[in-house]
Amino acid sequence: MGKIAILILWFWVQPLYHFEASEPTFKNKTFSAKVIRIMDGDTMEVLYQKTPVKIRLAHIDCPEKRRSQPFGNNAKIALSNLCFGQQVMVYGENYDRYQRLIAVVANHKKQIVNQEMVKQGMAWHFRKYSKDQLYAQLEATARKNKIGLWIDAHPVAPWEWRKPQKPSFPAKS
């Protein structure tokens, strides 16, 4: 019985490997594509040769839209204003654990969208994954000038916002 189960599992899983291998890889590739969807402040979808590609903007982390973090919706709108519907240049770097292409994106005005999000105070420099000091400088300037989310006296970084909250139990009396 065990051999049959393994054989069935192999026939079921094998097409998945074949499918993954046939998908194009954009790691370390540069290409032009049209922005067709903005998911949140640091995630978008582009259309490249009739194929949708999900992109996670490199070097930055934006407030969470899904969990109603302050400025989450503002960040999505800012990203949309920078590039939605436009033909952009995508500089692919790598893939994240969700199979999104981590990339730097330049809009039709030749602005680096990732940097613009930090300049507008709509993103943090994601120091955990980026050592690029330009992003650190852009964030410091936005903080100093209280631009965007930096108007908040105590902004919470998205990586802190995403951490699971420990349940609070009432004190025993």
Active site residues: 56, 64, 100
Give the residues across from 44 on adjacent strands: 38, 55
Do 85 and 33 meet the contact criterion of CB atoms below 8 Å apart?
A: no
CB atoms within 10 A of CB 57: 26
Q: For residue 106, what are its two tokens? A: 């330049």
Do 88 and 108 meet the contact criterion of CB atoms below 8 Å apart?
A: yes
Do 55 and 105 meet the contact criterion of CB atoms below 8 Å apart?
A: yes
The C-alpha atoms of residue 8 and residue 13 are separated, in whole angstroms, by 9
